[in-house]
Amino acid sequence: MKIHEYQARELLRSYGIPVPGGQMIESASAAAAAFAAATAGMKSPLAVVKAQVFAGGRGKAGFVKLVKTAPEATEAATFMLSNRMKSPQTPPEGLEVGKLLVAQAADIAPRSGGGAEEFYLAITTDRKTRRNILIASREGGVEIEQIAHDRPEAIIKEPLHPVLGLQGFQARNVAYKLGFKGKQVGQAVKVMQGLARLFVEKDCTLAEINPLIITTPTPDAPEGNVIAIDAKFSFDENGLFRHPELAALADHTEENQAEMRAQKFGLSYIALDGNIGCLVNGAGLAMATMDIVKLHGGEPANFLDVGGSATEEAVTEAFSIILSDPAVKGVMVNIFGGIMKCDIIAQGIVNAATKHKNADGSVGFKVPLVVRLEGTNVEAGRKLLNDAKSKIPSMQAATDLTDAAKKVCAAV
Task: Provide the annotated active-site residues.
Answer: 120, 208
Nearest to 226 by CA among 119, 103, 134, 154: 119
d(CA 26, CA 98): 6
d(CA 317, CA 356): 9
d(CA 332, CA 325): 14
DSSP strands (E only) in 193-247 = 204-214, 226-228, 231-235
Sign of the dihedral through C-alpha 341, 343, 349, 351: negative
Q: Are 246 and 16 in contact (CB under 8 A)?
A: no
Q: Are 95 and 87 in contact (CB under 8 A)?
A: no
Burial letters 310-347, b for 16+ CB under 10 A, else e? bebebbbbbbbbbbebeebbbbbbbbbbeebbbbbbbb
**82 alpha-carbon distance from chain centroid:** 23
For residue 381, give the amino acid letter.
G
CB neighbours of 139 closer than 8 A, spacing ≥ 6?
118, 120, 147, 151, 154
Q: What element of type H or E holds 285?
A: helix 283-295
CA dihedral 191, 197, 203, 207 (to 10 degrees): 20
Name the DSSP class of 219. S
Nearest to 243 by CA among 202, 277, 295, 274: 202
d(CA 259, CA 305): 12
For residue 71, give the amino acid letter.
P
Instruction: Count H helices and E strands in the chain, helices first.
Output: 13, 16
d(CA 51, CA 74): 13
d(CA 181, CA 175): 8
